[in-house]
Structure 1
Amino acid sequence: MTTHATGTRDQWLAARLELLAAEKAFTRRGDELARQRQALPWVRVERAYRFDTERGAVSLPDLFEGRSQLLVYHFMFGPDYKAGCPSCSAVADSFNGSVAHLAEHDVTLTAVSRAPIDKLLGYKRRMGWSFPWASSGDSDFNFDFNVSFTEMQQRDGEIEYNYHRGRHAMDAEPAPEPVRQFAATCGTDAKTYARDRPGLSAFVLEDGVVYHTYSTYARGVDAIWGMYALLDRAPLGRNETGVWWKRHDEYAQR
């Protein structure tokens, strides 16, 4: 016997129409947020960053691949990781299908991590991904965009992440269980794992100049985490009691 509310079709329809009005208001609010996002002032990128890619060393303008817009997913894969973060891996699973559509609309999507390029490419092959991935290990790119931090910053509680300076949930002592769990799956310890964080940054290339236009972090990444948009529409929703997801090749066959 179900413990959830049940009713007639007419009762369901009345409740659904009430929800529809709320969903439409939410959609309109989302449209307005998109306009606000696009109205942010552009900040000229003054530093000359270098990245290692499958095709060799490149600059930040090179990452645009001839297009005018660039989306960078800050993928948690530090130099000492043995494998990429499971959460970032779940986010990135949806990238392959989006890359061609974005490219047609003058947008390049790439992942950037601090791990050496050979390690990134090996993991990319394991996951069956085709989207571009660059290593920023030899530059300050990750540090400048507040997704990587030094041991000293971590120790002193001087991490600036998600527009907040200080200690964050990932820096708690002792480390939260999900952080320890994910660190172990990445072949490292909790502190090392937590020195890299997820995020998404946007850039535009105009008249040969690169501008930073937008960055989002932490739960701001939920919007591009495909499985959650689907789960939010499933009968039981996210239905989470803890960390349940894994890399897609680690699930038992069902």
Structure 2
Amino acid sequence: MKTPPVVSAEEWEAERRNLLVQEKELTRARDALAAKRRRMPWVRVDKPYVFEGPDGEVSLLDLFAGRRQLIVYRAFFDPGVGDWPHRPCAGCSLVADQVAHTAHLNARDTTLVFVSRGPQAEIARMKDRMDWTMPWYTMTDGFDVDHGVDEWHGHNAFIREGDTVYRTYFVNGRGDEVMGGTWAYLDITALGRQETWEDSPEGYPQSPPYQWWNWHDSHDS
């Protein structure tokens, strides 16, 4: 292993500041890209998709849980795939392990759910074993085929206007690597982080940073 040179603290700080310039350029570019996502056109979802949940059948609209936005991650915990029925694929499990507390997403009117084709009894057993708490539903129809996740994992973002649902964005492949944190999830949604510093279309909901930040057990207050 050929390691970098060892330098003085002053030289190290100078190198760090040089790299920081590029890091800030990347941050600004990431913010600009998120702003373009918020201006992406929407596509209306008209098919009556049906999922199985812990309490029975639910629709795509039901997955919103009354909130305005929805992020659906397609995980591969399916009969005949990988180490079924013992655990999901390793990559999807790594994604699940990184999911931040969903109360912060909920505070931004956004719901996160996982979906796969495994039956609910197996999903409940697996979630208990792995200490996962996110809502997890069973697909029963062609939702995965229609949304680009029948052969590979991915995150689909949706928004609703009343009872009408629209698909707003989609990431998969290496795009899934950054998912898991609250900010990464919000950055792929149509409304973004909903903070006043963001470049968003006129009329989008926004509030100052820190104003809505809270402990995960105190958002309702």
**Fold similarity call, TM over 0.5:** yes
CA contact (8 A) 1:199 1:216 kept: yes
- Give the alignment's Cα RMSD to 1 decimal: 1.7
CA contact (8 A) 1:73 1:110 kept: yes
**Equivalenced residues, count:** 178
Give the alignment partner of residue 93 of structure 1, picking from 91, 97, 115: 97
Normalised TM-score (structure 2): 0.76
Query: 1:132 matched to which residue of 2?
Result: 135
Displacement of 1:2: 7.5
- 3-state DSSP of counterpart to 1:4: coil
Query: 1:141 matched to which residue of 2?
Result: 143
Give the alignment partner of residue 121 of structure 2, picking from 118, 132, 150: 118
- 3-state DSSP of counterpart to 2:167: strand
The one-letter code matched in structure 2 to 1:209 is T
Distance in 2 between residues matched to 1:46 and 1:102, nearest whole Å: 25
Deviation readout 1:155-201 (Å, 9 max, x if unpaired): xxxxxxxxxxxxxxxxxxxxxxxxxxxxxxxxxxxxxxxxx411001
Question: Which stretches of structure 1, 4 residues or more, deviate above 6 A after TM superposition?
Answer: none
The one-letter code matched in structure 1 to 2:98 is S
The one-letter code matched in structure 2 to 1:51 is F
Report 1:46-85 matches (<5 A).
46-80=46-80, 81-82=84-85, 83-85=87-89
CA contact (8 A) 1:201 1:214 kept: yes
The one-letter code matched in structure 1 to 2:42 is W
Query: 1:217 matched to which residue of 2?
Result: 172
Distance in 2 between residues matched to 1:219 and 1:35, nearest whole Å: 20
Distance in 2 between residues matched to 1:3 and 1:17, nearest whole Å: 20
Deviation readout 1:79-122 (Å, 9 max, x if unpaired): 32322011111111122x33111011100000011122221111
Give the alignment partner of residue 106 of structure 1, picking from 83, 104, 109: 109
Normalised TM-score (structure 1): 0.67
CA contact (8 A) 1:114 1:142 kept: no
Distance in 2 between residues matched to 1:130 and 1:102, nearest whole Å: 14
- The answer to whether structure 1 residue 16 and structure 2 residue 19 are counterparts is no
Give the alignment partner of residue 204 of structure 1, picking from 155, 159, 173: 159
Distance in 2 between residues matched to 1:218 and 1:54, nearest whole Å: 29
- 3-state DSSP of counterpart to 1:109: strand
- 3-state DSSP of counterpart to 1:98: coil
